[in-house]
Amino acid sequence: MVRVPSTPGIRLLPNAITVLALCAGLSAVQFALAGNYSMALASIGIAAVLDSLDGRIARLLDATSKMGAELDSLADAISFGVAPALVLYVWHAEGVRIGWVASLVFAVCIVLRLARFNTLLEVEQPPYASEFFVGVPAPAGGLLALMPVILWLEFGEGFWSVQWVVWVWAVAVAALLISRIPTLSLKTIKAPPKAIAPLLVGVCFLGTMIFLFPLIALAVAMALYLAHIPYAVYRHRWLAAHPEAWTVPASERRAIRRRSGQRRLGLRPPLRRRVAGAAMRSLRIPPRNGEHLARSNRPLNGGQRKRSWRQIGLRRK
């Protein structure tokens, strides 16, 4: 692997991207005060994209630092906590006390979620935990809170723009932020070689949708993100019960999953199925009493085992 020289100018690049994300988040408030809610959404979306890049670029350039991590958390608190809360308040509750309370709850939950994230970085966790976030991450939470604004811009007035619905939704998203519900981390998702071509086609389709129907594409992306949470919970519980499966290939992991399902149903898997690696330890089947003895006493015919009436599919008379 070729390592990029870590010059002082290069080391500033991730922090500069973080500052740009902070500026984009704060610009969303200015656009909301001017009544331009489309640009407010675009600013928070740009902040989310920049937030996903700064950490990767810092690791790629070997420019990670404690200051960069703290700056990233502070920028996230403003871009995805303070900015969305103020956008919602300016949009639909200026002067309404309950709206201000809901905005405060959302902003505080974002800060608590980021504080817990920084604390968990210093706590030793099982290897499979790197595939998951604890709760909804800050960028996704900020965009989820703005779902009523997205639907209002695209479809006009509806139940999604009713005041009490907006604030109940904001508090519900705040609860997801500080919850212990596991969500998948896109940083650890790996695509198999066979899925690369369909994935590129999907990226092309997604890019086209973003250019032609940006609000609908964003709403669908947020809906899919919410829909993945039950799968993430199931996957986390399964890996917690089978930690040895985290290091094995996907095919062997599927074999362990099939074996688990057969155990729950009380079924015995085929004895001749063989798997390798860590999955073999999970799939090893203890022989039944007398099984080896019965096999050794089977009569042979010309060096071959005699086929019984059960094996050739005939019924005994």
Helix (H, G, I), strand (E, B) or coil at 50: helix
Please say whether the beta carbons of 20 and 11 come within 8 A: no
Whether the full predicted model's pTM is greater than 0.85, yes or no, is no
Task: Report the C-alpha gap between 83 and 77 in whole angstroms.
Answer: 9
pLDDT tens digits, one per residue of 216-240: 888 988 999 999 899 888 888 888 7
pLDDT tens digits, one per residue of 160-210: 888 889 999 999 999 999 988 888 887 766 767 777 788 888 888 888 888
Burial bucket for residue 296 (CB in 10 Å: 0-12, 13-18, 19+): exposed
Question: How far is residue 138 from each of residues 82, 183, 212, measured CA to CA in Å?
Answer: 11, 12, 27
Please say whether the beta carbons of 77 and 71 come within 8 A: no
Both tokens assigned to 166: 């907006």
